[in-house]
Structure 1
Amino acid sequence: MKQFIFLLVIATIGIVSISCDGRDRVFKTNTEVLIENKLLDSFSENITYVPETYTEVATDTILYNGFHVKLKTYTIMDKHIVNEFKQDSIVYKKYYREFVTDVIVTKNDKEIFNERIDKEFIHKHNNNLQLNKAIINVMVNQVSSVKNHGLVLSAMIKDIQNETIKFCDILIDSEGNLVLKEVQELYAFNEQT
């Protein structure tokens, strides 16, 4: 009798363990299973960062016309612009980290310009530009600098939401005075006549 009860208990455990193989989930979608287990939120977002890690580029340039330019461009890790869209029940979020450029300009060993170029700087000198969803990148325009007998920094302003690019030239004279003007050409480095 004891052997019969023991076999009955073993058989019951065996039947129960065999019947718990997930057949009830065969006809459910992946989304239904994730909702049932409260895991949908962790799988319904795809988040990326551009750039993924801290980025820094330092440039030290001496121009033919006597200007010495030091640029340090780097990412601000806690300031970003989000581009968000939904596709197939997945929310894609792309975080574009903002760039800042520190600029030091000397002429004949005398510092004439020392500024941080970011959205606030551009907005202060030209408040007509829409900079809410924009990333700014600054570079030395050597050809225009030599032609204009000054320093020309080209600022590329990319609107990440509608993928448009605008260019501004920051003209710095030998006294450190600056003029910011929007460039209408498709590409900022086109030769001007």
Structure 2
Amino acid sequence: MKKTILALLAVGTMVACKKNETTTANESADSTAMSAPADTGMATSTTDSASTMNQNTAASTSLSDQDKKFADAAAKGGMMEVMMGDLAKTNAQNATVKSLGSMMVKDHGKANNELKAWAATAKYTLPTTLDADQQKQYDELKAKKGAEFDRAYTDLMVTDHKKDIAEFKKEASGGTETSLKSFASNTLPTLEHHLMESEKAQAAVK
């Protein structure tokens, strides 16, 4: 009788152990299943990030050499027009020349901001300083005052705007990036007006 009771106890203990093992295995499986969505989410996030980087790279490399050359020239030319316009407001003697300088600061400042907005969207880095020749022109003009300044400034404005108009027309017709072409086309009437006003001021100080 005693042996029978011990045997029954042993069987009961074995059954309990089996149940515990089964429960532990099931809990482990449940835990693995619950962690799966988190892993999947991380994979999706990484894929999205890579996709965004590829889009940004594609945006900056989709510009043609013509687009890049034009954007760089327009940025530096616009900066110079604003800087020289500021000089005209203080160094000029003739009222017409002062007024021309103020117009250049206002209009080219607006165009510069539009170009910067385009560059931010296109992920393109514009130059932030003048090139060596432009800096030399600015420094030479800065040293002049009165009637001498008036003649030098108006001569520069006529020459520069003829060159600008040719470059903007080239981009408007031959560029490849749609938004940049639109910028060039929309800015042309302003540049043509500037040339006309510059020629009037040039004639007034001769």
| Structure that is richer in helix per residue | 2
| Structure that is richer in strand per residue | 1
TM-score, structure 2 length as denominator?
0.28
Higher relative contact order (CA 8 A, sep 6+): 2
Greater Rg, structure 1 or structure 2?
2
TM-score, structure 1 length as denominator?
0.30
